[in-house]
Amino acid sequence: MLSFFKAYKKFAIAFTIISIVIIALIYNTLNVYQPLPIYQPAMVSTELVDSTIQYKKKYHKIADFSLVNQNGNIITQEAYKDKIYVADFFFTTCQTICPIMTNHMADIQKEILNDDEVMLLSHSVTPDIDTVAQLRQYANKKGVNDEKWNLVTGDKKQIYELARKSYLAVKDNGDGGPFDMIHTENFMLIDKKRQIRGFYDGTNSEDILRLLKDIKILKEEYQQ
């Protein structure tokens, strides 16, 4: 009888060890790090992409830019060098989706306020209306932190081309006017190499949570 229990004890120990190994393997398999996709123009709805790049499948990056923020400062790509950032397109007089988008961007600002790696960038699609003074007033109203979040205006042609050739984010107005555009609710997550890593509905609270989660995943990518 004693020998039986000794044999059973050895079996139990071996079974426990094997079970632990199997559970660890299953856990690691289910929790394998999954990098975020790198979006190319060919992966995005053609209505949001300039016809000249609609079929581009690689090497897409955000172009250089020079715009003016709510403080009258020139903002270029250098302000976002080695940063992860969230970009969108809006206008201050919009009464439909913009207030929701801006409130959600403010929520993101709260989450990344002490994170030196992450910033925000909002482009006006009506730069003729959204002067520096107008942006300053809007920024004050919405609680914009100037160190984290730039609201930018500038040359309409440049903003149009950034929107449709870089961020793949707005629709052409289609009425024949030069550089007229209809912004969407999209937020774009941009990595440190100026690549698009995610699109999110800026009016959807669940998508904002997904965006915040993806920022953490993207930061983890730089720690690999």
Give the residue numbers of the binding site for Cu cation: 94, 98, 183
> What length is written for the chain?
224
Q: N- to C-terminal Cα distance for the chain?
A: 55
Q: Which long-range contacts (CB under 8 A, 24 or more apart) does 114-117 make?
A: 117/83, 117/84, 117/219
Tokens of 187: 């937020």
Tokens at 48, concatenated: 């949001």
User: Which residues on neighbouring strands pair with residue 196, listed in sequence order?
Assistant: 190
Please give the DSSP secondary-structure letter assigned to residue 113: T
Task: Answer for the pair 146, 140: CB distance below 8 angstroms, yes or no.
Answer: no
Specify binding-site residues.
94, 98, 183
Dist CA 139 CA 168 (whole Å): 25
